[in-house]
């Protein structure tokens, strides 16, 4: 079993590595200090199991688990945390086990064996698991696939989202990426951060510079970071104008 340890506390990572060494039969492939780094390393290293803390900076463990589930060959996930109140959310994120710190060697061995059995019995990659809408948890990142690799896009970097056939094009500070999510679901999750200006477009509030009417009467949204002006539909215009007054 190739294992990745993820914890924002260096001493916690060190203790887990020591436990794995004492158990034997496992290969420690790497370590990560936050959820985003965990997803990136799990993909690049091709690990079988991620031992994942919950409360971490940048991206927490629950969100990281959902991004891991979207990989082409998702690793097994075992949560290791000092708190037990996240257990239900952990299993909703398809974790194979949930260990409360300080982790006992026998419980770690049991969790690893459970992950090993899951890996041996896995016929098809698990489908992507998106955040439960009822949980109130919003992702800090969207995940997109680029030439077979997973790319994480910070929501804070997104300028606007534009529907295109069955995909949504995410326009952000580093360029563009496609995500296989609906504009409607993204609006439901991130409605406080984005506003709809057209049936096929959501724009981040922070990106608005002005509304400009063209000679033919069509209104366009002008963004702070430049780029092509975005068409505002007549249906969305009244609500947009009203909400912009309160920015």
Sequence ranges of the domains in the chain? 2-121, 157-244
| Residue 122 confidence (pLDDT) | 60
| Residue 86 confidence (pLDDT) | 64
| Residue 247 confidence (pLDDT) | 64
**In angstroms, what CA-CA distances link 244 with 210, 232, 236, 241?**
9, 13, 12, 5
With a CB cutoff of 8 Å and minimum separation 6, the contacts of 243 are: 195
| CA gap 2, 45 in Å, rounded | 9
How many Cα atoms sit within 13 Å of 36 on the Cβ side? 13
Q: Is 29 in contact with 45 (CB distance < 8 Å)?
A: yes
| Alpha helices by DSSP H, 51-144 | 61-68, 87-92, 105-121
Q: Which CATH architecture has domain 157-244?
A: Beta Barrel (2.40)
Tell the burial category of 76 from Cβ atoms under 10 Å away from its Cβ (0-12, 13-18, 19+): buried
- In the predicted model, residues of the chain with pLDDT beneath 50 are 123-135
How many Cα atoms sit within 13 Å of 74 on the Cβ side? 25
| Residue 134 confidence (pLDDT) | 40
| Residue 234 confidence (pLDDT) | 94
| Residue 156 confidence (pLDDT) | 95
| Residue 89 confidence (pLDDT) | 67
Local structure of 42: helix, strand or coil: helix
| Residue 91 confidence (pLDDT) | 63
Measured in degrees and rounded to the nearest 5, phi and psi for residue 153 equal -115, 115
| CA gap 110, 103 in Å, rounded | 11
Instruction: Provide the CATH number for the domain formed by 2-121 in this structure.
Output: 3.40.50.2300
Q: Is 8 in contact with 34 (CB distance < 8 Å)?
A: yes
| Residue 124 confidence (pLDDT) | 43
| Residue 171 confidence (pLDDT) | 96
């Amino acid at each position: 079993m190739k294992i990745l340890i993820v914890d924002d506390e260096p001493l916690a990572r060190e203790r887990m590595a020591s436990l794995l060494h004492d158990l034997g039969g496992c290969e420690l492939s790497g370590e990560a200090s936050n959820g985003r780094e965990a997803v990136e390393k799990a993909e690049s290293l091709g690990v079988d199991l991620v031992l994942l803390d919950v409360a971490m900076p940048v991206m927490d463990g629950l969100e990281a688990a959902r991004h891991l589930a979207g990989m082409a060959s998702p690793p097994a996930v075992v949560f290791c945390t000092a708190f037990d109140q996240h257990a239900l959310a952990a299993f909703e994120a398809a974790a194979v086990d949930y260990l409360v710190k300080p982790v006992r060697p026998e419980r770690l061995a049991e969790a690893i064996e459970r992950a090993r059995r899951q890996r041996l019995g896995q016929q098809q990659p698990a489908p992507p698991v998106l955040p439960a809408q009822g949980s109130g948890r919003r992702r800090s990142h969207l995940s997109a696939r680029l030439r077979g690799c997973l790319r994480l896009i910070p929501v804070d970097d997104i300028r606007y989202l534009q529907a295109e056939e069955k995909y949504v094009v995410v326009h952000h500070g580093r360029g563009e990426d496609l995500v296989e999510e609906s504009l409607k679901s993204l609006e439901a999750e991130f409605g406080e951060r984005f506003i709809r200006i057209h049936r096929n477009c959501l724009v981040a509030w922070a990106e608005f510079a002005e509304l400009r009417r063209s000679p033919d009467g069509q209104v366009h949204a002008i963004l702070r970071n430049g780029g092509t002006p975005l068409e505002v539909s007549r249906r969305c215009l009244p609500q947009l104008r009203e909400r912009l007054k309160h920015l």
